[in-house]
Amino acid sequence: MLDTTAPRALPLAAGIGFKSRHFAGLIEAPGPVAWLEVHAENYMGNGGRPLAQLRALAERFPISVHGVGLSIGGERALDRDHLARLRHLCGWLQPASFSEHLAWSTHDTGFLNDLLPLPYTAATLTRVAVHIDEVQTTLGRRMLLENPSTYLAFADSEMAEVEFLAELARRTGCGLLLDVNNVFVSATNQGWDARAYIDAFPLDAVGEIHLGGHDEDTDDQDRPLLIDSHGRPVVDPVWTLYAHTIARGGPRPTLIEWDTDVPPLPELLDEAARATAILQAAEVTR
């Protein structure tokens, strides 16, 4: 039976997002994979194969739970039923980490199947901080908040994204999940400096890093437009930005995020091995 009394911390190595098609391979030959991430909403049921697989994996790997449905930035109150199911999941699984997105997905009584951006204002800051406090109190654990991928900026924003995230961490005690691909996507789409963003980021608050792929397109004015698709390998400029991040802030548990057009497990293992090599090189030079 799963020991729920001593959750394992995420190691300073690379993990991958779990997909059911990879279950047998991960049990038999996990290669360089040191930990796994699962999406919370896929495991909030009362039984069946998904929960059986998760219990088996949790015997072998530290698990990070990543939520996509809390709508932390939404104007309405958090969904109490959703929170209760999330608390139940974290209660029996005792994951090494729980994270959510700086985004909103709800409007009136509806739920939108997207992670939508927020204006960075004092009012938004207060609302998100209240929601984070509620989540952390309900779960009895610190959560990590992920920086978004964005395609536009709000004219009424009163502060930079980095400033907004840093203040949320200060007010609530939450940690941060730094998605390096999201930084690259947003910087390209909006024309700002991705490295300067990393240099200003409160790296001491970062408990986890995400790396993923994106699709390339152009907008109506033929300017580059990147779409955060999680459906391709990590591109070289993102690897370079990741290495810069690790050099500045030190090694952090790093996830290879691949959610669409998921490849065979060996391709994910190759991406994980590349991340682990950067982490190990940083350890040697520190």
pLDDT at 266: 94
Taking CA atoms, 262 is separated from 95, 114, 256, in Å, by 24, 19, 12
pLDDT at 7: 54
Buried b (16+ CB within 10 A) or exposed e, 252-261: bbbbbbbeee
Taking CA atoms, 264 is separated from 20, 32, 271, in Å, by 12, 15, 12
Taking CA atoms, 43 is separated from 16, 65, 140, 201, in Å, by 17, 10, 19, 32
Highest mean pLDDT among 8-17, 34-43, 142-151: 34-43
pLDDT at 97: 97
Cα 24 off chain centre by? 25
Q: Distance (Å, rounded) from C-alpha 9 to C-alpha 58?
A: 12
Across the chain, mean pLDDT equals: 90
pLDDT at 6: 42
First to last CA, the chain: 39
Domains of the chain: 14-285 (3.20.20.150)
Q: Distance (Å, rounded) from C-alpha 228 to C-alpha 215?
A: 7
> What's the rounded mean pLDDT across residues 153-160?
85
Give SS3 for 64.
Answer: strand
In the predicted structure, residue 262 carries a pLDDT above the cut 80: yes
Residue range 266-276, pLDDT digits in tens:
999 999 999 99
